[in-house]
Amino acid sequence: MSAYGLTREAVRSLYDARIHTPAVLDPAHYFPNAQRFLDRWTDIRREALEIRGTLAQVPRFHEIMREQTDISANDGRDWRMFILKAYGVDVPRNRARCATLSALLDECDDVVSCALSFLAPGKHIPRHRGPFRGVLRFHLGLAMPRGTDGSLGTLLEVDGEEHRLDNGDSLLWDDTYPHEVWNRTHEVRIALLLDVWRRDMPLDMRMLSHLVVSAVRLGIRVTGALAMET
């Protein structure tokens, strides 16, 4: 196992010992600002579709984070990420292209990271676990294509439970639980992904979470966020 893998497992074990919430959580409690994004989802979708028009310029996930190669470059099909904010570091050029999303980020200081996710037709993101329970993942469907039979052709499985989200549907979940994604259609699947601070953490976990985010933020600034700009 690599040094990154060992660190990831060590961090995850600390959180697993102290936090015992289910895989899917209630946004009304854990992310009340979710409603702001839901209220503007059609405007966010419009911005995402404009980005899709220049999709070849949007980096693949593993081109931004080499550690994600196993799940991003696994099948030769693209997973492209248009990042507006990463662990508190803004990407100004990208934010300038998404006025609605940028304004919402200004209103919601509990959002740590924000990205538009573009999954190529046929893309499969294999089963994996995130390392960091200090944040939760908010997923908002923007362009969720249907199969040839008219049914939803994209699937998000979290901790063994299937979720078929349509346009405008959302889910708040803990990505340290095993999860995987399929796009079984001939169209690009687009979703908004937010990482938001977890509420109600014990004090020691809250302190550790801020330490982890600060360390990652420093790494981004040292290596430069320009790699994320489109």
pLDDT at 130: 86
pLDDT at 132: 85
Phi and psi, residue 180, nearest 5°: -155, 165
Q: What is the crossing angle of helices 203-223 and 3-18, to 10°? A: 150
pLDDT at 218: 87
Which CATH code, of 3.40.30.10, 3.40.50.150, 2.60.120.330, 3.60.20.10, is assigned to 3-228? 2.60.120.330
pLDDT beneath 50, residues of the chain: 1-3, 6
The percent of residues above 70 in pLDDT, for the chain, comes to 93
96: its two tokens: 């300038």
pLDDT at 228: 63
Contact between 167 and 136 (Cβ < 8 Å): no
| CA atoms of 52 and 46, how far apart (whole Å) | 10
pLDDT at 36: 98
The secondary structure of residue 125, as a DSSP letter, is E
